[in-house]
Structure 1
Amino acid sequence: MIRFWLALLLLSPWLLWQAKRTRATTPRLPEAGGEPSGRSGDTGPALRLLVVGESTAAGVGVGDHQQGLAAHLAAQLSRRHGRTVLWRTVGVNGIRAAALIGHLPRAPETDVAIISLGVNDTTGLTRRRGYRHALTALIAELRRDKAELPVYLLAVPPMQRFTALPRPLRDLLGWRAQGLDRVQQDLARTLAGVHHLAYPPVEGKDLLAEDGYHPSEQGYALIARTVADDISMP
């Protein structure tokens, strides 16, 4: 980690210029519209799915939440297990892990929770210790009324593959993202009922929104297909 901060210090003027230029030239997409909840399937006992997080949970990159990650994941789980899935998503574009806890719904009736975070903590240079503390508090809050609630941590996206970002900015952010994802992997190893979900390669024009940064509907569908097999139904 010392190498990261040394590289940041040495390259800071160049990185600052790249960051400002990228922000100025990249389209800023809104959060998805429509109801942030829905239903998939109509058979078997209902599973209540909650997705919380940053822009991926907020549906940035699509026009309606029905096209976003939670809806596609609910459809995949319903199809695989022959059960009704009632889904809800709570996302805030640009949020960091420490701030998300204030946006959680009160006493949500949930059977499975998915947390999608890390990009804004990467760009905001959140330290690993702080990220771990924030995630631990978030998991505890989700489990306030159900201590055994299964919680899945979607991996921090591999930012070194974000072609909308120039080099060396994306390489340094990718390095940082990997460090935060190791925190998530460690939590999955040490906390009972917490699991880590790999993030698939979301690359190419069809899988990315117009900003070249967030997933398109096809991108969200790919993520859902990839992670659905690793989610156990309670």
Structure 2
Amino acid sequence: MHLPFWLSTALLAPLLVWQGKRTRRTTPRLPEADGEPHGQYGEGEPALRLLVIGESTAAGVGVPHHQDGLASQLARQLYQQSRHPIAWHSHGINGIRLQALLDNLTHTELPQADVILLSMGVNDTTGLTPRRRYREQLLTLAARLPTPLYLLSVPPMHRFTALPSPLRQLLGWRARQLDAVQQQLAREHPNDFIHLAYPAMNDPALLAEDGYHPGIKGYQAMATALAPALAARLLTWKETQGGVG
């Protein structure tokens, strides 16, 4: 239990509840991306199959079409750097928490993938999921999927312009705690988890109209930041291990 966080939350509870309700009422609720959540860059049999799963980022919220979302833009970057055909697929649900994603995956047939990237944490931040439970759920997920599981860092919610202060600061604090859980798992279980960080989106032009989710330029910036770290790892992994799936 992280006592300073919970004490601060308890003391500010009436204000935080009011701010949370007001934010939900005034912030535009953007839909998930339209179109097919899969595709390929390059001709022929894919050298790598990329799967992005998780919450709104995986669902492409903030852009009109999945072609503009994270999985597609990341696959495009990997293709441009490697010149090998790269297939991509997204499986995201807006507003989902990690436990609900685990439940969803029990009756969902995911496509074969060489690389799985998990984008989670925002809804578990706002839902105040305990850190120990979040850790256990990540371990459960890794046990069900091919590993290593790439953990996209939890967004720095203290920079979300749609959130008022002090709600923004408290959620940012909590987001950093959950991301610390992910980083710790990557250190303790390097064969099962790899943590991937990307620069904070300080430029409002990178955000969608809700000031909360990435826009087209935001997803492009994320892909540009993540692709170099992934390219060497993933291509070497594919060539030496033959992939998974």
TM-score, L = length of structure 2: 0.90
1:140-219 alignment to 2 at 5 Å?
140-143=143-146, 149-191=147-189, 192-219=191-218
1:46, CA displacement in angstroms?
2.0
CA contact (8 A) 1:41 1:75 kept: no
**Residues 86 and 222 of structure 1, relative CA distance in 2, 3 Å threshold:** same
Distance 2:46 2:53 in 1: 23
**Mean Cα displacement is larger for which, 88-97 or 198-207?**
198-207
1:187, CA displacement in angstroms?
1.0
**Mean Cα displacement is larger for which, 164-173 or 37-46?**
37-46
Distance 1:109 1:66 in 2: 19
CA RMSD of aligned residues (A): 1.3
CA contact (8 A) 1:53 1:115 kept: yes
What secondary structure is seen at the aligned counterpart in 2 of 1:230?
A: helix
1:201, CA displacement in angstroms?
1.5
Partner of 2:8: 7
Identity of aligned residues (%): 57
1:205, CA displacement in angstroms?
3.2
Partner of 2:111: 108
Partner of 1:21: 22
Partner of 1:38: 39
Q: Deviations over 1:46-88 (max 9, x none)?
A: 2111100000000000111001000000001111112111110
Would you say 1:120 and 2:123 are equivalent positions?
A: yes
Unaligned runs of 5+ in 1: 144-148
What secondary structure is seen at the aligned counterpart in 2 of 1:93?
A: coil
TM-score, L = length of structure 1: 0.94
What secondary structure is seen at the aligned counterpart in 1 of 2:229?
A: coil
Give the total of aligned pairs. Answer: 229
Distance 1:45 1:214 in 2: 30
Partner of 2:242: none
Partner of 1:226: 225
Distance 1:122 1:56 in 2: 15
**Mean Cα displacement is larger for which, 55-64 or 45-54?**
45-54
Distance 1:13 1:88 in 2: 42
Which letter maps to 1:78?
Answer: Y
**Mean Cα displacement is larger for which, 173-182 or 185-194?**
185-194
Unaligned runs of 5+ in 2: 239-245
1:200, CA displacement in angstroms?
1.8
